C-alpha cells in the first residue's frame, strides 16, 4: 500500500509539473487566437474559452450564412490586450444558427465601441497567416423566460437545434427536472415563439423546457416508451434544459453597487406590484430602502434606487402586490394595502450580498509638455461620460476652448486632445466637463445648461500646465509592415493606447532603452513604439534620451502555507 501511494504521489507530481509547463508555454504564445467549444446555450450568451488579442479588441459571434461561412453578427464582447479567459458574449438567440463562428476583431477606433461596418476601416477582423481568426462551433440553444401559465400553454422564446427534435416540458423544482408534462416537434435550425401545451396533473412551480432529438419514428415522441429513442440533447456533458418559474418570482443576484441602486434581473408578478428592497435586521427583512413598480407578467432589468445612508451589506428584495392606488407604494401607510406576495405559504423574498464600491472621483493627471497640435494627459478619471477640455489661459484663469475630446466613464490613459495651435499660450488649463446632453457632442456654451464643468469638493476639476511649442527634430517613424501598437511606456507590459497605421508617419520626441532590452521611440503625440517594428526617417541618431514611465505594478500572489507531511 505504501509503494502504491508513493507511485501515485510521483504521478501526481508529474501531472502538476506538466500542467505548469503547458500553462507557461500557453502564456508565452501571444499569437492572436480564439478557442471556443461546441456548447449548449441557455442564457442567450456564448462562452468563449480563450481569446488572445494583440491590443484591445472584440470577440464577435457570426451566424452561418447558409454555406458554412460566416454571416451576420448577433453579438460581441470587448477583450483586453493579452489572454482573456471565459469571455461571455451576449447574443440575439432568435437569430442564431446551429453552426456559428467566434471571430476576433481589432478595437482601433473608439475604444470599447464596436464599429466594424459602421465606421469605414474601423475594428477590422484579425488576420493571422492570411486567415481570419474565426473558429466555428456547433450549438444547441433554448431561450425561455419565467412566465405565468395561460390556457395551459408555455411559450419558449427560441430554439436552435442541429436536427429535427422536440421541445419537452418537464416538471421539477429549482434544482432538478422530473416527469414529462408536454412536448412539441421542432425542425432543425432556429424556431421562434415555440408553444407547448402542458398537462395540469403533476404541474410544478418550476418547469424545465428541454431539447430532445427525434431519432426513431419521426414526428412521434418516444422517449421513455421505446428504449434509447428521442433522448435529451447533450453537448460536453450539459443537457439542453433550464428551469423557469411559473409563479411570482424575483431573479436577483449578489452584486457590486455604488450604493445608490440595486439591480434586479427580472420580476414575475401576477398583477401589478412592487419589488421592494429591505435592509437586513438581524437576519430578517428590516426597513424599506427603496422600491420600484412592476407590471403584471415579466419585467426585466429593474434598477431600484435605495437609501445609501441606511444601506446594509445584506439586503432582502421582496415582491409586493399593488392593490390600492396603482403605482403608489402604500404598504405600512395605508392599512392592508400593497402586502407582500406569498407563494406556498412563503413570502417571496431572500437575502443577497452587496459589495459597495464608491464611484471614481473625477481627476486629471497631466504634465507640462512640448506640443505641436495636441495635448496629452497621462490619465483621466470620470464618473460618467464626459470631455477633457483644453482652455487657453487669460489673466491667470481658464479662457476660450482650444480643443476637447470625449472620455468614457472610468479611467482612460494616454488621452490625446487635438488643439488649435494658433491659440496656444504659455499655459493652458485642462478641465473636465460632463457629457449630459447629446452624448459625444460637446455643447457647453451652445446649449443652455449642457456639459457643465465637473466639480469635486466645490471646486472645478482644472489646473494650469506649462506648454512649449515642440520643435520637430525631423525624425519620424512609420510601421515596417501592418499596424503598430502604440503603448503607454517602453515595454509590451504597458497597455496599448493607440495604433500607428501602415503608411502613417509619426514625429519622434525621445528615445530610451526599454524594460525589455529593446530600443523604444517616444512619439511627439504621446506613447511609445518599439524600434524593431518601425522604420526611421530623418536625423534620428541625435534624438535625446528620455525616461519611460515606470512599469505597471503587478500584485504578488498571496502566500500560501506549505502542506504538512
Question: Residues of the chain with pLDDT > 90: what percent?
Answer: 68
Q: Tell which residue, 385, 395, 398, 401, has the closest CA to residue 444.
A: 401
- Judged against a pLDDT cut of 70, whether residue 557 lies above it is answered with no
Residues 78 and 46 in one domain: yes
Q: Are 392 and 467 in contact (CB under 8 A)?
A: no
Residues 437 and 371 in one domain: yes
* DSSP letter for each residue of 278-310: EEEETTEEEEEEEEEEE-SEEEEEEEEE--STT
- Judged against a pLDDT cut of 80, whether residue 529 lies above it is answered with yes
If one compares 17 and 434, the residue with the highest pLDDT of the two is: 434
pLDDT, one tens digit per residue, over 535-549 is 998 888 888 888 888
Least confident of 50-59, 229-238, 348-357, 361-370: 361-370
- Judged against a pLDDT cut of 90, whether residue 291 lies above it is answered with yes
The CATH number for 341's domain is: 2.60.40
C-alpha to C-alpha distance for 510 and 529, rounded to whole angstroms? 11
Task: Residue 342: give the domain boundaries.
Answer: 249-356
Residues 343 and 253 in one domain: yes
Q: Tell which residue, 289, 326, 331, 327, has the closest CA to residue 309.
A: 289
pLDDT at residue number 470:
64
260 assigned to some structural domain: yes
- Judged against a pLDDT cut of 90, whether residue 469 lies above it is answered with no
pLDDT at residue number 7:
37
Residues 116 and 78 in one domain: yes
Mean pLDDT of all residues in 83-94:
95
13 assigned to some structural domain: no
Q: Tell which residue, 77, 88, 84, has the closest CA to residue 32.
A: 84
Residues 87 and 184 in one domain: no
C-alpha cell read off for 403: 480643443
pLDDT bucket at 4, cuts 50 / 70 / 90: very low
pLDDT at residue number 2:
37
Mean pLDDT of all residues in 95-122:
92
pLDDT at residue number 441:
92
* DSSP letter for each residue of 203-258: --SEEEEEEEE--SSTT---TTTSTT-SPBPEETTEESB--EE-SSEEE---EEE-
48 assigned to some structural domain: yes
pLDDT bucket at 301, cuts 50 / 70 / 90: very high
C-alpha to C-alpha distance for 276 and 267, rounded to whole angstroms? 11
Mean pLDDT of all residues in 422-451:
90
Mean pLDDT of all residues in 41-49:
94
- Judged against a pLDDT cut of 70, whether residue 69 lies above it is answered with yes
For residue 515, count other CB atoms closer than 10 A to its CB: 16
- Given 418, 435, 469, which residue is the final one in a domain? 469
- Judged against a pLDDT cut of 70, whether residue 77 lies above it is answered with yes
Least confident of 7-16, 271-280, 481-490, 510-519: 7-16
pLDDT bucket at 369, cuts 50 / 70 / 90: confident
C-alpha to C-alpha distance for 486 and 501, rounded to whole angstroms? 10
Q: Are 103 and 138 in contact (CB under 8 A)?
A: no
Distances from the Cα of 361 to the Cα of 150, 344, 430, 452, angstroms: 50, 47, 16, 16
The CATH number for 499's domain is: 2.30.30.40
Residues 161 and 217 in one domain: yes
Least confident of 23-32, 256-265, 323-332, 347-356: 23-32
* DSSP letter for each residue of 74-92: EEEEEE-SEEEEEEEEE--
C-alpha to C-alpha distance for 551 and 479, rounded to whole angstroms? 24
18 assigned to some structural domain: no
413 assigned to some structural domain: yes
If one compares 380 and 24, the residue with the highest pLDDT of the two is: 380
Residues 368 and 461 in one domain: yes
- Given 245, 263, 281, which residue is the final one in a domain? 245
pLDDT bucket at 489, cuts 50 / 70 / 90: confident
Residues 486 and 458 in one domain: no
pLDDT, one tens digit per residue, over 305-330 is 999 889 999 999 999 999 999 999 99
3-state secondary structure at position 94: helix
419 assigned to some structural domain: yes
Residues 345 and 401 in one domain: no
Residues 37 and 135 in one domain: yes
522 assigned to some structural domain: yes
Beta carbons within 8 Å of 182's beta carbon, 6+ residues apart: 154, 168, 169, 196, 197, 198, 199
pLDDT, one tens digit per residue, over 175-207 is 999 999 999 999 999 999 999 999 999 999 999
Mean pLDDT of all residues in 501-505:
86
Total of domains in the chain? 5
For the chain, the first-to-last Cα distance in angstroms comes to 17
pLDDT bucket at 383, cuts 50 / 70 / 90: confident
Classify burial at 256, counting beta carbons within 10 Å of its beta carbon; exposed 0-12, middle 13-18, buried 19 or more. exposed
Q: Are 103 and 133 in contact (CB under 8 A)?
A: yes
pLDDT at residue number 234:
96
Mean pLDDT of all residues in 81-85:
93
C-alpha cell read off for 346: 412563503
- Judged against a pLDDT cut of 90, whether residue 400 lies above it is answered with yes
551 assigned to some structural domain: no
Residues 128 and 37 in one domain: yes
Q: Are 459 and 361 in contact (CB under 8 A)?
A: no
Mean pLDDT of all residues in the chain? Answer: 88
Strand order, beta sheet including 244-245: 177-186, 165-172, 206-213, 244-245
Least confident of 43-52, 119-128, 515-524: 515-524
If one compares 237 and 472, the residue with the highest pLDDT of the two is: 237
Beta carbons within 8 Å of 223's beta carbon, 6+ residues apart: 168, 180, 212, 229, 230, 231, 232
Residues 149 and 220 in one domain: yes
- Given 469, 497, 519, which residue is the final one in a domain? 469
pLDDT bucket at 500, cuts 50 / 70 / 90: confident
Amino acid at each position: 500500500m505504501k509503494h502504491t501511494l508513493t507511485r501515485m504521489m510521483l504521478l501526481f507530481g508529474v501531472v502538476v509539473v506538466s500542467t505548469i509547463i503547458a500553462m507557461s508555454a500557453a502564456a508565452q504564445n501571444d499569437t492572436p487566437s480564439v478557442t471556443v467549444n461546441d456548447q449548449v446555450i441557455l442564457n442567450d450568451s456564448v462562452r468563449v474559452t480563450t481569446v488572445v488579442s494583440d491590443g484591445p479588441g472584440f470577440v464577435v459571434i457570426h451566424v452561418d450564412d447558409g454555406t458554412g461561412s460566416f454571416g451576420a453578427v448577433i453579438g460581441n464582447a470587448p477583450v483586453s490586450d493579452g489572454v482573456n479567459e471565459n469571455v461571455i458574449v451576449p447574443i440575439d438567440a432568435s437569430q442564431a444558427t446551429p453552426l456559428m463562428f467566434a471571430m476576433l476583431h481589432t478595437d482601433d477606433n473608439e475604444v470599447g465601441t464596436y464599429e466594424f461596418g459602421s465606421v469605414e476601416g474601423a475594428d477590422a477582423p484579425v488576420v493571422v497567416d492570411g486567415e481570419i481568426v474565426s473558429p466555428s462551433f456547433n450549438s444547441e440553444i433554448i431561450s425561455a423566460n419565467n412566465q405565468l401559465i395561460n390556457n395551459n400553454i408555455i411559450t419558449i422564446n427560441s430554439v436552435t437545434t442541429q436536427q429535427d427534435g422536440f421541445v419537452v416540458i418537464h416538471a421539477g423544482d429549482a434544482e432538478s427536472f422530473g416527469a414529462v408534462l408536454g412536448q412539441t416537434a421542432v425542425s432543425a435550425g432556429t424556431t421562434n415563439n415555440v408553444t407547448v401545451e402542458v398537462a395540469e396533473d403533476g404541474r410544478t412551480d418550476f418547469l424545465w423546457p428541454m431539447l430532445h432529438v427525434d431519432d426513431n419514428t419521426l414526428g412521434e415522441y418516444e422517449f421513455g416508451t421505446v428504449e434509447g429513442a428521442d433522448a435529451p440533447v447533450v453537448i460536453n456533458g450539459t443537457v439542453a434544459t433550464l428551469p423557469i418559474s411559473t409563479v411570482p418570482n424575483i431573479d436577483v443576484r449578489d452584486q457590486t453597487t455604488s450604493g445608490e441602486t440595486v439591480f434586479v434581473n427580472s420580476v414575475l408578478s401576477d398583477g401589478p406590484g412592487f419589488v421592494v428592497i429591505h435592509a437586513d435586521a438581524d437576519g430578517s427583512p428590516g426597513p424599506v430602502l427603496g422600491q420600484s413598480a412592476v407590471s403584471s407578467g415579466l419585467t426585466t432589468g429593474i434598477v431600484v434606487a435605495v437609501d445609501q445612508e441606511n444601506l446594509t451589506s445584506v439586503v432582502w428584495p421582496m415582491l409586493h402586490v399593488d392593490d390600492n392606488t396603482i403605482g403608489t407604494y402604500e404598504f405600512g401607510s395605508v392599512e392592508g394595502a400593497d402586502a407582500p406576495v406569498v407563494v406556498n405559504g412563503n413570502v417571496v423574498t431572500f437575502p443577497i450580498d452587496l459589495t459597495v464600491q464608491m464611484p471614481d472621483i473625477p481627476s486629471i493627471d497631466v504634465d507640462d509638455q512640448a506640443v505641436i497640435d495636441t495635448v496629452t494627459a497621462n490619465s483621466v478619471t470620470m464618473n460618467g461620460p464626459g470631455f477633457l477640455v483644453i482652455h487657453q489661459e487669460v489673466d491667470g484663469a481658464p479662457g476660450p476652448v482650444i480643443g476637447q475630446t470625449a472620455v468614457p466613464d472610468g479611467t482612460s490613459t494616454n488621452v490625446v486632445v487635438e488643439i488649435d495651435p494658433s491659440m496656444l499660450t504659455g499655459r493652458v488649463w485642462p478641465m473636465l466637463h460632463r457629457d449630459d446632453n447629446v452624448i459625444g457632442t460637446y455643447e457647453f456654451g451652445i446649449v443652455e445648461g449642457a456639459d457643465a464643468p465637473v466639480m469635486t469638493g466645490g471646486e472645478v476639476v482644472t489646473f494650469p500646465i506649462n506648454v512649449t511649442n515642440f520643435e520637430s527634430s525631423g525624425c519620424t517613424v512609420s510601421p515596417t509592415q501592418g499596424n503598430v501598437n502604440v503603448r503607454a511606456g517602453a515595454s509590451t507590459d504597458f497597455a496599448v493606447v493607440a495604433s500607428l497605421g501602415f503608411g502613417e508617419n509619426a514625429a519622434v520626441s525621445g528615445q530610451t532603452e526599454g524594460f525589455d532590452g529593446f530600443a523604444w521611440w517616444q512619439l511627439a503625440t504621446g506613447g511609445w513604439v518599439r524600434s524593431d517594428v518601425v522604420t526611421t526617417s530623418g536625423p534620428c541618431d541625435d534624438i535625446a534620451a528620455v525616461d519611460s514611465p515606470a512599469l505597471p505594478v503587478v500584485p504578488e500572489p498571496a502566500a500560501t502555507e506549505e502542506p504538512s507531511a
